[in-house]
Amino acid sequence: MKRNQYIVGLIVLVFFVISFLTNIIGPLVPDVIQSFNLSLTLAGFLPFAFFIAYGVMSIPSGILVEHWGERKVMIAAFSLSALGAFLFALIPTFLMYVCSLFLIGSGMAMLQVAINPLLRVAGGEEHFAFNSVLAQLFFGLASFLSPLVFSYLVTYHADGSTSSLASIIHRFVPEGMKWISLYWVFAVVSLLMVLVMVLINLPFVVRKEDEKVGALSVHLSLLKNPMVRWYFLGVFMYVGTEQGVANWISKFLQTYHGVDPQTVGATTVAMFWGMMTAGTALGLALLKFIDSRKVIIAFSFGAIACLALALFGSKQITLVAFPMVGFFVSVMWSIIISLALNSVTTHHGSLSGILVTGIAGGGIVPLIVGSIGDAIGLRGGMVFLFLTLAYILSIGFWAKPLVDNKLMGK
């Protein structure tokens, strides 16, 4: 039992690191645009390069886990992440940055596939729901902290001291590009996680028959089911919405309200992720009393209203409304996934692989926003997100799960 709790703690740490490396692109966008003289469309290729890796790697990662086991896949994943971060830190060009983000994204996709079954075995099935929520809370905490770490690194001034972490890292980055410091941090963190994975012993995961990744024929048969395709699109739209907001907050505030992206912009992005964490906790409580379809309808309307206030309100309103969008989208991921899994009777492992592939929406939607933004302005580009939220809203009306979420008193 002691060893199991140790492994659960390790997995929670992995969730933290995944989030720390994943949800930082948004605060960096204004600096990246300035450093490489990019259009909004080219800036949109940054989240595209990262999240398209999920579309490419999710199903192959499931196959690798079954052949190699979780430990080897996690070592390979963090090695890819370290390689990507080191390459860009050493060769800070736009093309290398795109390649780096794809490598890091591939590593994160591999980790996402590996750790959930491991969490079930290490903590015990009876504690899986609690441990999953605990992991998601730490995931949210890391998303909140990483923009603040970025802000510290880029605004730090030595004032005669040369022994601080920031001062040491700044020696290895080009003049005027302090934001690249963050990738030295990512490289070191990833290497440390490789070392941890090499040194520890993980429990053997025996997958239930329904958790196994099926053959290609199983995936194709599932994709023939219209409901599977609709839920895949739901995941695609959700992650696209989340990243479409988070990745453009800082640039939007700089463009329309003259906000410093390295301080107030980064803090607003941090608050977006912080409010997502708070919303997750409230959403979990609501799901004990209200049908999940009603929750996703109510929260979708809330997200649409807050996005409208963020895009068309004053500076003061926008600074509050963007984080509140995070609050209202917080429950969407878990509800969409649970509705999807509860809508089919077999092959849940293969279905999970298909659904996780929808995370590629986090790359494609921000790219669409940037492309529209180049044509009619970033505000006009972000209006596209009302369409993705409208689709998520529709799920609450057409979803017909075979099993409803368990309510208190029933």
Mapping DSSP to helix (H, G, I), strand (E, B) and coil, where does residue 278 land?
helix
The pLDDT tens digits along the chain (410 residues) read: 444 677 888 888 998 999 898 888 888 999 999 999 999 999 999 999 998 998 888 778 877 877 888 889 999 999 999 999 999 999 999 999 999 999 999 999 888 878 877 776 777 655 665 677 678 788 888 988 998 888 888 886 554 455 567 777 878 888 888 899 999 999 999 999 999 999 887 766 665 555 555 556 666 777 788 888 999 999 999 999 999 999 999 999 999 999 999 899 999 999 999 999 888 878 777 877 888 889 899 999 999 999 999 999 999 999 999 999 999 998 888 888 878 877 776 666 667 777 888 888 999 999 999 999 999 999 999 999 999 999 999 999 998 877 665 555 55
d(CA 80, CA 7): 22
Global pTM? 0.84
Tokens of 15: 């969730």
pLDDT digits (tens, 9 = 90+) for 117-153: 777 677 765 566 567 767 878 888 898 899 888 888 8
Q: Which residues contact 100 (CB under 8 A, 6 or more apart)?
A: 84, 85, 87, 88, 183
Per-residue pLDDT tens digits for 154-198 = 886 554 455 567 777 878 888 888 899 999 999 999 999 999 999
Alpha carbons 202 and 357: distance in angstroms, whole number: 26
Phi and psi for 269 in degrees, rounded to 5?
Answer: -65, -40
Q: How far is CA 317 from CA 267, 308, 310, in A?
A: 15, 10, 7
- Please name the amino acid found at residue 153: L
pLDDT on residue 219: 64
